[in-house]
Amino acid sequence: MLPFMALRTVSLVSLFGLVLTAETPRPLVLWHGLGDSAISEGMLEFAAEITTVHPGIFIHSVYIEEDIDKDRQAGFYGNVNEQVQLVSEQIAAISELEGGFDAIGFSQGGQFLRAYVERYNSPPVHNLITFGSQHMGIDDIPVCKPRDFLCQIARRATKAGVYGSWAQENLVQAQYFRDPANLAAYYSSNTFLTSINNEIAETRNETYASNLASLNKLVLIIFTEDKTVVPKESSWFGSEVVGDDQLAYGPQRVLAPGRTLVSMREQPLYQEDWIGLRELDERGGVEFLVCEGAHMQIHDCWEDIVREFAG
C-alpha cells in the first residue's frame, strides 16, 4: 500500500513517476464511492489506468480521513455538508489545481462533486463526470454484501429513522434519501439533497445555478442493471412519484403499480431551472451515457469517456 501522506502531498502524478510539462493534460480530481477510500487498491489502479490514456496528468483523489479505514467509514457516517466543505478547502490548497480541473465521481462521490461545483467551484471544474450517482436521491436502501458489517449497521440505522435529526446529521445515505411517498418529511428534515437541488423555495440559491451552468460538460452515466441506486434513473436526474402525484405524468412511464418515473426534463428542478441544469442542457452541455452491467461494474466502459471528457 502506498503511503497516504504521499498521495495527499503530491497526488498521483509523482507516484507514477510522471513529469509535468507545458503540454500536461488538464488535472483530474476523483471522489470515490460508498465503501471505498481515496487510496484503496481499486482507486489507485484506476488512476494508473488513466495515466495510460493521458500521460503526465495530475490526479488528486479526495479524502475525508487520512487513515484508509476511517476514510471508508466516512462514506457511511458523517455530515455530508461538512465533508463537501472540507474537500473544497482541500482542493483549494493544491497548487496544481488552481487553474481548474476535470472531475470524476463514483456513485455518491458524483453528487458530492456536484455539490462542490454548486457551492464553491473555486478552483473551477471544467467537465464533471458522474458514474451511477444519485442526483435525485434514492428511495430505497440497497442490500449490503453478506460480510460488509459496516454497511449492514448503517443500513439498519438509516431505515430505522431516516428522517430523524440524528440520521440526517450523521448517516450519509440518509442525507440523500428521497422518499416519494413522504416528501413532506424529506423537505422538512433534509439539509443536503434539498439544498444542492434547490428544492426549498425560501432558501433557493442562485449561485448554485450559475455555477452548475458554468460547466463545459456534465456527463451522466447510468448502469443498465443497477440495483443499488433505486431508481437507477436517478443517475440521469430521474425520480419516482407515487399516489396522486402520478396523475401529472401519465401511465406510459409507470415502472410498477403505483410508481411512475419522472425523467430529467420533466422535473420541476429542470423546467424552472433551479440549479442551472436546463441552461446547461439547452446549450448541449449534458451528456447521457450508459455502462452495461450492475452498479459500478465499469469494466472497459470508462476509457472512451475519460479519453473524451477528461484531461
Dihedral of CA 6/298/26/100: which sign? negative
Dihedral of CA 107/108/112/118: which sign? positive
Question: Can 295 be counted among the known catalytic residues?
Answer: yes
Bridge partners for 291 per DSSP: 223
* 3-state SS, residue 191: coil
Dihedral of CA 197/198/201/202: which sign? positive
**Nearest C-alpha neighbor of 100 from the set 39, 9, 196, 25:** 25
* 3-state SS, residue 245: helix
Question: Can 245 be counted among the known catalytic residues?
Answer: no
Bridge partners for 288 per DSSP: 220
Please tell me the distance from the alpha carbon of residue 305 to that of residue 210, in angstroms, as a whole number: 25
Q: Which residue in the list 36, 139, 226, 273 is annotated as catalytic?
A: 226
Question: Can 71 be counted among the known catalytic residues?
Answer: no
Q: Which residue in the list 88, 107, 234, 235 is annotated as catalytic?
A: 107
Q: Measured in whole angstroms, how far is the alpha carbon of residue 279 from the centre of its chain?
A: 20
| CB burial of residue 65 (10 Å; 0-12, 13-18, 19+) | middle
Pick left, alpha or beta for residue 147 (phi over 0 → left; psi -120 to 50 → alpha; otherwise beta). alpha
**What phi and psi, each to the nearest 5 degrees, are found at residue 113?**
-65, -35
* 3-state SS, residue 253: helix
* 3-state SS, residue 281: helix
Output DSSP code: residue 135: T
Residues annotated as catalytic are 107, 226, 295
